[in-house]
Every structure is written in structure tokens, then in C-alpha cells.
Amino acid sequence: MLIPNPIHILCFGNSLTQGFPINHPYAIALEDTFQTSSPYISIRTDVQGLPGDQVVSPPGHYLPRLDILYDDIKIPYSWMVILGGTNDLNQNQDADDIFEHLMKVWDYALSRGTQVLALTVPECGACRPELDPRRDYLNGMIRAHQAENL
């Protein structure tokens, strides 16, 4: 029996969310996993990856993009899977500033009834190795953060 109301998942971020480097968004694997493990649950994904975008605004556009998305949606998002920070680190943004802006993005979605899955920043083959300690520090803050529905 199919559950009538689909789970509406927003996959939000930058080029990694869009599917860089092989043009294969992780949302495809997410849908496949749901269909295999829970075929009675209908899910709908909305992939919103913008190459080069940054969390810290300005220059990034994470919050303005979210504002537009939430104004235009017909079916509310059940979940937001968010990946951000890679471009910020590569543009020498401070890890504490990135984390502060990530929290604003998470809070935006949470305040609208959306549960949030916050992803850590993956290793970046195109990034300078000296960014690794800052990425590790940022990921530690992401992992340690606690909030209801996050």
C-alpha cells in the first residue's frame, strides 16, 4: 500500500548537490534507496544545487535562494538535505562565519516545519591541502550542533 502523501525532500547546496563532477545528483541515489528499502513510501526530490554558490551571504545566495523556493512551493518540504561550505572554504571564508551562516539556513527551514539533514563538507580534490584543517574544524561544529528536527 502506497502512503498517499509523498515525502518532499529538498536537496540544497552548490555544484556537489547538483551532481558535480559526474552530473549525477545524490538525490538519484536517495530516491533509489527509498524505493528499494521502503517501496510503500512515495518520495519527491527537488534538487537545488547552484555551482559556485557560498553559504556566507554576501557573496553567497543560500538564504535568498531558500526564501524564493519557500515562497514558490506548492507541496511543503518534509526534509531539507543541505550541503554547503566547500566554496566558502576555497574562497578563504572563516569556518566560524560559515557555520554561523549554515545555522541561519538550517533555522530558516526548521522554522517552516522542515526537518533538516545537515551534511558535513567532503574532501575536495580541487582544493588546496591547507584547507583541510579548516574543513575538519567546520565539520566538527556541524557534527556537534544539536537542535530539534536537525
Rounded to an integer, the average pLDDT of 105-124 is 95
Give the distance between the most distant pair of CA atoms in the chain: 52
Given this model, what pLDDT does residue 150 score? Answer: 85
List pLDDT tens digits, range 40-94: 888 899 999 999 999 999 999 999 999 999 999 888 999 999 999 999 999 999 9
**Helices 95-110 and 62-72 sit at what angle, rounded to 10 degrees?**
10
3-state secondary structure of 46: strand
Given this model, what pLDDT does residue 1 score? Answer: 53
Given this model, what pLDDT does residue 137 score? Answer: 98
Closest by CA position to 7, among listed 104, 37, 62, 122: 37
Give phi and psi for 130, each to the nearest 5.
Answer: -70, -10
Closest by CA position to 16, among listed 85, 70, 65: 85
Mean pLDDT (the chain) is 90
| Reported CATH class of domain 7-144 | alpha beta
Closest by CA position to 14, among listed 119, 132, 141: 119
- Evaluate if residue 126 carries a pLDDT over 80: no
Give the span between the Cα atoms of 126 and 117, in whole angstroms: 25
Given this model, what pLDDT does residue 4 score? Answer: 66
Given this model, what pLDDT does residue 139 score? Answer: 97
Each domain of the chain, given as residue ranges in start order, spans 7-144
